[in-house]
Amino acid sequence: MSKKVTLLQCGSFNPPHLMHLRSQELAKIHLEKLQRTVIAGWMSPVSDGYRKTGLVCSKHRIEMLKCATADSSWIRVSSWEADKPEWTPTAEVVKYHVEKSKKEFDAQTYLLLGGDAFASFNVPNLWTNSDVEMIASNGIIVIARDGSDVQQIIEENEILNRYRSNIEVVYPGIVNGLSSTYVRQLLMEKQSIKYLVPEELRKYLEENEIYTAESQNTNKDTVLAPLQLYNS
């Protein structure tokens, strides 16, 4: 009998783009090959309290994700994290969705990460050991990025190495450098973003003119919330 699972993808989604959605699909394909049934894929935008430079308000980012996932029968927007005024550590976001997944679907939850985000587990003072352990003990699925050595990252981290049987790695097969930064740049230059984001999202972005020189200065010279917390 196939084991039921859910996916949780956290991030700024500033804005979301096709590779964010493709990551969900790649993870689903990989897990189904392992005889797992993916019930839902949550996309959880970080709160405004994260204080990242250029981060537009959560109201827009939630709406952008709704536009991006409108055609999907299983990818969903979770606003639990974004609705909070202050930043919530990722481990707490994972814990909430693990409990939600068990209650609603009797399913296991995997945190879906890109290669760069996964590598951040080894950045000093960015994660607490207890948070890494909580996340790894539940399950992680990594979409490997060109130039990132996922196995080396695991081997260099005692906690990840201990839970390596809970970590699934997906190799996309193609190199794609699409990023939110690139999409923002095109929008600010009034250039086309067609085929880089879902069509409904493209219309929303172009109609609302969310990304401007002013928006790029949001949180300028402000320390990221996790660095401020863990270095205090």
Give every CB contact of residue 49 below 8 A, 6+ residues apart in sequence.
Answer: 84, 85, 86, 87, 225
pLDDT tens per residue across span 45-102? 999 999 999 999 999 999 999 999 999 999 999 999 999 999 999 999 999 999 999 9
The answer to whether residues 121 and 131 touch, using CB atoms and an 8 Å cutoff, is no
Mean pLDDT score, 168-187? 91
What is the reported pLDDT for 228?
A: 75
Mean pLDDT score, 129-155? 93
SS3 sequence, 128-148?
CHHHHHHHHHHCEEEECCCCC
What is the reported pLDDT for 231?
A: 63
193 CA to centre of own chain = 21
Task: Report the mean per-residue pLDDT for the chain.
Answer: 93
pLDDT exceeds cutoff 60 at 172: yes
Query: What is the pLDDT confidence band of residue 1, given thresholds at 50, 70 and 90?
Result: very low
Mean pLDDT score, 112-126? 92
What is the reported pLDDT for 232?
A: 57
Fold of 3-230: Rossmann fold (3.40.50)
What is the reported pLDDT for 226?
A: 78
pLDDT exceeds cutoff 80 at 177: yes
- pTM score above 0.85: yes
What is the reported pLDDT for 146?
A: 75
Q: H helices within the chain, ranges in order?
A: 18-33, 58-68, 90-105, 115-119, 129-138, 150-155, 158-162, 180-188, 199-208, 213-216, 225-230
Give every CB contact of residue 62 below 8 A, 6+ residues apart in sequence.
Answer: 45, 77, 79, 82
Task: Please report, for the chain, the start and end positions of each structural domain, with discontinuous segments joined by +.
Answer: 3-230
